[in-house]
Structure 1
Amino acid sequence: MSTRISKILGGFLAAAIGDAMGAATEIRTTEMIKDYFGGYVKEIINPPEDTWAHGTKAGMVTDDFSISFFSAEEICKAGGQVTEEVALKALMRWSEAPQYSRFCGPTTLNALKRIKGEEVPKTKHDRLLCVNSRASNGAPMKVGSIGLFNAGDVDKAIDDAIILCKITHDNTTALSGAAAIAAATARAMDDRVSWCEVVQAGIYGAREGFERAKLIARPVATASVERRINLAVEVGMRNQGDWEKAMVELSQIIGGGLPAAEAVPAAFGYIVACEGDPMQTLYMAVNAGDDTDTVGCMVGYIVGALGGIDKLPMKYLYKIEQMNGFDLQGISKSIDNLLDKRESNEIGGKI
């Protein structure tokens, strides 16, 4: 297996692991996780009945990974091009898969109704200049695969992330968070890249994503994703070497919930605290509490691409593929082929 395929497959698998493993711990605090499960969760298990993922089996993913995977499939069909039409096709096809769309958040749900031509009852939010509650992690959760398609091209990853997400999350903060995840994943696809360089790419993505989104998206009054990533990096740095303390500090200072300005910075804090180790980073995301499956999925794309498939337990590859009917290996090869063609075209254009 080539290094690039290993990185692509690693990104997909780690994201799926983070989602499936985090589905069992979502909404709980770290202390509640330890009390309920008898310790930290470090395996994929059946989600309890009091979680959003109740009724699903161990190894099944939620909306987080599934919508990013459906998006990747549509991008492959389009020859690697990310357009609004591709984004719409992915969203519509995903909405027809009830095992995943039942997790659909309010922002995406309303967008789907509008796209389908269904009547969306007017609410008090419609007259508001800034709908701050929509600055959520629903955009960042689905763009990790964008980074895989744009291996090494951070700026293209930022632009594509905005295109993919704007149809549902038309605000500056959500798009800034999405750009951060896509940019970091794209950088992680480079050979011999360090976790420090990947985090720096994420900070750049948050900043550039915000500036580009300001030109086309609605404003929202929230904390800066970029500034909060910097804060999370500081917390992670001073707690390196103490996994549990780092997790608790990040949870209490940064949070890990629905807002993009929480979930995205938390992901980068975990990477720093664990020095880019894929499984340790995933374990931290899964056990830090709150929106664990979403943060696990986002950070999984980054550290999975950084470390490659060899840093992940292969038992999960077969489990994820079997339980969801996803061909992670097949789509990884397809993306690699698209990247080969893109490189050939670029070389041909220079001759």
Structure 2
Amino acid sequence: MTDITYDRILGSFYAVALGDAMGMPSELWPRARVLNHFGRISEFLPGPDGHFVVDGYVAGQVTDDTQQTIMLAGAIIDGGGKVDAITVARHIVAWADRVGASEGNFLGPSSAKAIAALRDGASPWDTGKTGETNGAAMRIAPIGLLSSPENLKHLVDNVEAACVASHHTDVAISGAALIAGAVSAAVELPKGAKAADHIDDVLEVGYAAASLAMQRGEHVVAASVVARSKLAVSLARTISDETEFLQALYDTVGASVLTTESVPAAVGLMTRAEGDPLRCALLAANLGGDTDTIGAIAGGMCGALSTVTGIPAEFRDKLNDVNELGFEELAAKLRELRSA
């Protein structure tokens, strides 16, 4: 299959993994420590010795960000294109059991709490009521790959169903909807469209989806994901020096596991990189904070904008050599479901 829609779907999958694996070594380290330890990350690196999450990871290895993206794609395919909260919950627990995700520091706080409750028999409609972190946004790209931007209510319905079990709060759903909306709009771009020329177009769809999503889930106290994303875009376009931009993004928008920081940071990085997946992955890796997740979130948008050909073949090959991904099969199935 070589049609442009498939190429954009496949590109999104690969760019999620690219951003995840590139940011893996610096995951959850403060920016100052990243700078002191690495200087500058410019390639896939192994997890540092003694790292509390990724000690022992090899260069190019992905984390739970990519694994949960694959998990969600599988839940969509299992449902024949219908995104069902019960099915997603079942797939989350099955994935966690399969990879031993509940051991050590592998999971984010919201996902860890929800998975434990689901294992104990709790209803998925109860387990995600306090989830405000970025676990929903990090895996949400398949919803954008499945859903058309022509019906934003349906897209947000799908986003909410994907969030229920672990992140059923307005801010988490809003952040995930922003990313899914942008991905969905990017997949619709025609062949030959230059990524840099369509950043604002796809973000407008994302902002509209995020605004709709703020009416969903448990209402919590949190800053606006849309407002903070627009601030990140402004920083990306007004600060000429790359190091100064990353520092300003880290200091002003933030790079923690909170949806209100990591989603806007990802939007800023995607804007700065002009939709280039490799450039964006490197920016994320050097940012500090939740580097792998921010890289994965931004990557999902960049890959859909650039198509799979925007990711150098040697990086795709390395990702496949190190990990079991199966992106081509997933992309083909989501391509069929998007057209259905």
Q: Do the structures match in fold with TM over 0.5?
A: yes
Say if 2:87 is the partner of 1:89.
Answer: no
Whether contact under 8 Å (1:203, 1:230) holds in the other structure is no
Gapped regions of structure 1 (runs ≥ 5):
120-125, 343-351
Partners of 2:101 and 2:136 in 1: how far apart?
Answer: 16
Q: Which residue of 2 aligns with 1:183?
A: 181
* Matches for 1:1-351 after TM superposition, within 5 Å: 1-37=2-38, 39-48=39-48, 49-98=50-99, 100-102=101-103, 103-117=106-120, 134-153=131-150, 155=152, 156-192=154-190, 194-211=198-215, 213=216, 217-239=217-239, 241-340=240-339, 342=340
Contact 1:66–1:100 (CA under 8 A) maintained in structure 2: no
TM-score under structure 1 length normalisation:
0.86
What is the CA-CA distance between 1:163 and the residue it aligns to? 0.7
Provide the identity percentage: 29
Q: TM-score, normalised by structure 2?
A: 0.89
How far did 1:233 drift? 1.7
In structure 2, C-alpha distance between the alignment counterparts of 1:118 and 1:333, rounded to whole Å: 34
Separation (CA, whole Å) in 2 of partners of 1:110 and 1:28:
23
Q: Distance in 1 between matches of 2:323 and 2:121?
A: 29
1:138 alignment partner AA: G
Deviation at 1:316, TM superposition (A): 2.5
Q: Report the Cα offset of residue 101 of structure 1.
A: 4.9
Give the match's secondary structure for 1:139: helix
Looking at structure 2, the residues matched to 82 and 250 of structure 1 have their Cα atoms a distance apart, in angstroms, of: 34
Measured against aligned partners, the alpha-carbon deviations of 1:27-47 in whole angstroms (never above 9, x if no partner) come to: 22334223212x321211111
Amino acid at match of 1:113: A
Is the contact made by 1:152 and 1:188 (CA closer than 8 Å) also made in structure 2? no
Contact 1:108/1:138 (8 A) holds in 2: yes
Q: CA deviation at 1:8?
A: 0.8
How many angstroms does 1:19 deviate by? 0.7
Q: 303-312 or 92-101, which moves further after superposition? A: 92-101
Q: How many residues align?
A: 324
Q: CA RMSD in A?
A: 2.0
- Residue pair 2:15, 2:277 contacting (<8 A) in 1 also: yes
CA distance in structure 2 between the partners assigned to 1:92 and 1:99 by the alignment: 10
Cα distance between partner residues in 1 of 2:102 and 2:145: 24
Cα-to-partner distance string for 1:172-205 (whole Å, 9 max, x where unaligned): 1111111111111111111246111112222222
Gapped regions of structure 2 (runs ≥ 5):
none
Q: 1:334 to 1:307 in 2, by over 3 A?
A: same
- Which structure is larger by alpha-carbon Rg, 1 or 2? 1
Alignment partner, residue 345 of structure 1: none
- Per-residue deviation at 1:17? 0.9
Letter in 2 for 1:209: A
Structure 1 contact 154–201 (Cα < 8 Å) conserved:
no
